[in-house]
Structure 1
Amino acid sequence: MLYRLRQGDRNAFAELYKKYWRRLFDSAYKRLLLREECEEIIQEIFIDIWEKRETLVITVSMEAYLFGALRYRIYNLIRSRKIRNAYLDHLTNTQEIEKNYIEDSLYYDELAGALARSIENLPEKIKKVYQLSRRENLSYKEISLQLNIPVDTVEKQMGKAIKIIRASLKDFILILILLAESGFE
């Protein structure tokens, strides 16, 4: 089926979608309990597969790959929820909540958006290494095996990714200072 997907076979994609969508949804729903979030995560997984079909490397079964991707996306969603909730909890405990909440929330959203754009604009190979490391929590050795490149290449590409991201976020230092002044930790 992967071969057919790589060739752009929409029927193969439709078969894959029909075969796994319900099982992925049920698995996600057990953890998230929000239908919209589950549907969005699953859509993102299938969109990712279609968009990257020509270069997709899957070293396990398609089922294992899909459920692994689902697990990582759920983990990242829960982690971002916790971070955002901790930040919002902090804001609710400050004395100037009415005054600072909207402004701080805008700063946070602007910074998060800038980070996402920065990652999206990375060169393709570097972005792949960065995403496998940060989003899928793979070790450099695991990334090396999956992409069939030396570990030192993975390390260099991660270093480049971090350097590029830092450079692109340099204009947001003021936002970080304002967040720090408002007590965001």
Structure 2
Amino acid sequence: MPTEKLHFDITLLQRLKEGDQGAFELLYTKHAKPVYLKIRRMVKVSEEVDELFQELFVRIWERREQIDIQQPFSAYLYRIAENMVYDFYRKAARTEKLRDTLRMTSQESYDQIEQTLFKKEAITLLHEAIATMPPLRRQAFILCKIEEKSYEEAADIMGISTNTVRNHIVKSMHTLKSYFQDQKNSDSAILLFLILSCY
């Protein structure tokens, strides 16, 4: 069953790369809600959330030929969304009025993203660390920690037990810790903290 779903996703992505709008609409329907909620949690300002969300899928369509169909589409989608949010906050920092509005709307959210901007390499390192995980462990981590699905939902998608999903998540966190401990970087502990707090 998981193999069939994976094959279906690869087929959709291949059709998307070829300019198939029907495939684009199916992918939009499947991923729109979770990525919208993620952007909303990061930005908080409704008008800006809607604009970023619309722009995200415009970019997906415009860059469809660059998509790697062998990689999880959700991870690609979230990475672009995160980069757009970071760019948004950079622009906001240059606009006094918008910055004040953001601070009044959600001081905590603004400060958290502003801090993450100075450590954006944490996101890059996270994706590098995920890539080192075995396929099932990587899939479990993406489903539960990035897409924020429950263990039960992940178990159903992967065709395995909830306990097995939980074991994969525990092992994935060990993988992350080991990966950062191996980095020749004095800020690795800070980066790890940022990653674990974000996910």
Q: Which category describes the TM-score, using the shorter chain as reference length?
A: 0.5 to 0.7
TM-score under structure 2 length normalisation: 0.50
Separation in structure 1 between the aligned mates of residue 136 and residue 173 of structure 2, nearest angstrom: 14
Aligned to 2:92: none
Q: 1:37 to 1:13 in 2, by over 3 A?
A: closer
Aligned to 1:160: 171
Is 2:43 the counterpart of 1:18? no
Separation in structure 1 between the aligned mates of residue 166 and residue 178 of structure 2, nearest angstrom: 18
Aligned to 1:66: none
> SS of the counterpart of 1:122?
coil
Give ranges in structure 1 of 5+ residues lacking alignment: 57-68, 92-103, 180-184
Per-residue Cα deviation, 1:119-175 (whole angstroms, up to 9, x for no partner):
122111100000000121111111111111011111111111000011101237721
Per-residue Cα deviation, 1:26-71 (whole angstroms, up to 9, x for no partner):
x77x8441465333345789946x3269xx9xxxxxxxxxxxx6xx
Separation in structure 1 between the aligned mates of residue 188 and residue 109 of structure 2, nearest angstrom: 15
> SS of the counterpart of 2:120?
helix
Note if contact 1:4-1:12 (Cα within 8 Å) is conserved in structure 2: no
Separation in structure 2 between the aligned mates of residue 84 and residue 36 of structure 1, nearest angstrom: 21
Alpha-carbon RMSD: 5.0
Note if contact 2:138-2:172 (Cα within 8 Å) is conserved in structure 1: yes
Q: CA deviation at 1:88?
A: 6.2
Note if contact 1:133-1:139 (Cα within 8 Å) is conserved in structure 2: yes
Q: How many residues align?
A: 146
Q: 1:158 to 1:79 in 2, by over 3 A?
A: farther
Separation in structure 2 between the aligned mates of residue 177 and residue 6 of structure 1, nearest angstrom: 36
Summarize the alignment of residues 1-185 of structure 1 with structure 2, pairs less than 5 Å apart.
17-21=20-24, 24=28, 31-34=49-52, 36-41=55-60, 47=67, 50-51=69-70, 73=78, 77=82, 85-87=110-112, 89=114, 105=118, 108-170=119-181, 171=183, 174-175=186-187
Whichever residue aligns with residue 187 of structure 2, its letter is I
Q: CA deviation at 1:85?
A: 4.2
Whichever residue aligns with residue 186 of structure 2, its letter is L
> SS of the counterpart of 1:174?
coil
Larger Rg, first or second structure (1 or 2): 1
Separation in structure 1 between the aligned mates of residue 9 and residue 56 of structure 2, nearest angstrom: 28
Separation in structure 2 between the aligned mates of residue 160 and residue 10 of structure 1, nearest angstrom: 29
Q: 1:131 to 1:22 in 2, by over 3 A?
A: closer
TM-score under structure 1 length normalisation: 0.53
Aligned to 1:94: none
